[in-house]
Structure formats: C-alpha cells, structure tokens
Amino acid sequence: MSRPVRFPVSCEVAYDYLVAPDNRAAWQSSLKGVDDVLGEDGVVGQSWIDLTTAGVKPRMELTDADRPYRWSERGTWGRFSAILTLTFTPVVGGPAGADAQCEVAASMEVRATGPFKPVGLVVNRLAPLAVRSDLKRAAAILGS
C-alpha cells in the first residue's frame, strides 16, 4: 500500500469523486476520457473503457465498493490485468470547527502473461508513484 494522500474533504466526498468514471480524466494523468460507461457510479459491476493517452483501452470494472471506506477496480487489456484498491481513512483530532479531511491510500497490482510478463513487473514498480501523483491531483481539485 502506498503512503496515503491527504484530502481536504470528508471520506464520502473523496470517495464519490474518485469512484465516478466521468471524473477520471480530470485527475488521472494517463487518461483522455472514458467511454461506454455501464451501471451506476459506485455500484459493484459498473464498467467502462479508459481512453488512455498511450492509446490503450482497458475495460474497467468496479469489483468492490464499501462507501466510504474502500473500493477496488479491475482493468483488463490483452495480456495485462490490473487491480487498484483505494482505502479511505478519516483524519481525526483536527482543531475544533476544522473541515473534514481524509487520507486515501492506494494498492495496485499489474499482471502480464507470456512475453509481456517482464513489462508487468516493471509497471508494478512504477505504478505506485503514478497513482500517488494522480491522487495528489485529485486532492488539489477537491481543495480548490
């Protein structure tokens, strides 16, 4: 699990923003947009296609949703699959009257088969940095 990112909003607000596919392109640096969204935001089974800047179009599916504590998604494309889980923790002990805050931590695993297996291993080493950077972007958006 990566070092958590502090969000200047409650777990509920952060969760609802991050889980919605239509918000993804605003905070995920690798996305141009999403397409073919099926199902309700935050409901297990919702799926969509990520339109990435690299031209890869993984089919994504929400596989776990426990609002506002945790959600997981799985993406598949060709010989690759990835699982991302975000965990939301309220920040307690702030000054009286302070706005709600939370921390969001991510865990991610990328798998590849066949000749692409070494690529999957490299992506697993780099992905946590990219995900954490994207979460910082989302926190900034929600804080503005």
Q: Please give the C-alpha separations between residue 36 and each of 18, 47, 61, 140, in angstroms, as whole numbers.
A: 18, 8, 12, 27
Encode pLDDT of 84-128 as tens digits.
Answer: 999 999 998 655 555 689 999 999 998 888 988 888 888 888 888
**For the segment 13-33, what is each residue's pLDDT rounded down to a tens digit?**
999 999 999 999 999 999 999
Alpha-carbon distance of 56 to 60, in angstroms, equals: 12
pTM for the whole thing? 0.90
Question: Per CATH, is 5-143 categorized as 3.30.530.20?
Answer: yes
The answer to whether 80 touches 111, Cβ cutoff 8 Å, is: yes
Distance CA 59, CA 62 (A): 10
- Give Cβ neighbours of residue 102 (< 8 Å, ≥ 6 apart): 6, 7, 9, 10, 11, 14, 88, 89, 90, 91
